[in-house]
Chains A and B, each alone.
Chain A
Amino acid sequence: MSAVPAAIRAEVSVRPDDPVFAGHYPGFPILPGLFLLEYVHTTTGIEALPTAVDRVKFVRPVYPGDQVVLDIGFSRDGDEVRCDATASVDADVVAEFRLRYPEGAK
């Protein structure tokens, strides 16, 4: 288990001037849910791409200006590294994730 890194907590600001909001959706800006998956992947610091996304649950939308808190934990899963994460806004969980990375990714 020693090769698995400790848990990570990070905060991401959803910038209202992110160009994505012009198109998602015109007049009704909400963050594409999968952008949260990218936040999680980037925050892990793992260079390799995940091999699997076992599960994502979106609880409610994220809006421009939201401060998203990511809590990310790692564990061994056979030959792979499993990553469980939540995204929260104002202490409410807005999305949950389970990803897998190849062995040696971390």
Chain B
Amino acid sequence: MIGVDRIKRIIPHRHPILLVDRVSTVEPGRSLVAHKAVTAAEPCYQRLGDDTPAGGYAYPISLLLESWAQSAVLLACWEQPNPDVLAGKVELAAGIAGVRLLRPVYPGHTVEHRVEIVRSVDDAAVVAGGSLVDDQTVLEVKRFTVALRDSDVLRRPSVGASR
């Protein structure tokens, strides 16, 4: 079992936005299966009042997709870890296509993310896959493109510089 300690040695995401808990299967360069447990203690539920209806606790699609995408980045970077953006490169999502959201995810669910490399070039990868909860598909992703860029190039223009 590959836990958070190993995950942190491969990708730069950290609390509160490290959204992968463990990796159960990896075939470097090909595929990976990762897991994320959603709980009521997630920061996204912090401000919900006691009158929030059941549907209000659906895990936000942005976080579900971000969690899936982090699994994709884990696979893309498995053999060339990039745990520190300041020392290396920045992973940037370049595009996403063909996402279907089939069922909402709620606290108590453990999401199984499946990712497969479709195509990989020097500093970019195209990844496909989906996510399951209790063997039911909750998410399908046809194409996610992640690019690695030099962090120097992406530095925010300094204050006072023309933008």
Contact = CB atoms under 8 A, between A and B. Distances in A.
A32 to B, nearest CB: 6
A58 B14 contact: no
Interface in B70-106: 84-86, 90, 92-101, 104
For chain B, the bracket of interface size reads 35 or more
A52 B93 contact: no
Contacts of A19: 16, 43
A58 B92 contact: yes
A4 interface: no
Interface string A9-44: 000000000011011111110101111011001000
Given A32-B66, A37-B65, A51 B101 contact: yes
B66 to A, nearest CB: 5
A52 B101 CA distance: 6
Interface in B49-64: 55, 58, 60-63
A79 interface: no
A20 B16 contact: yes
22 contacts: A19-B16, A20-B16, A20-B17, A23-B14, A24-B17, A28-B90, A32-B62, A33-B92, A34-B62, A37-B62, A38-B62, A41-B61, A49-B101, A52-B99, A52-B100, A53-B65, A53-B96, A54-B98, A56-B95, A56-B97, A57-B94, A58-B92
Interface of A: 19-20, 22-28, 30, 32-35, 37-38, 41, 47, 49-58, 61, 63, 90
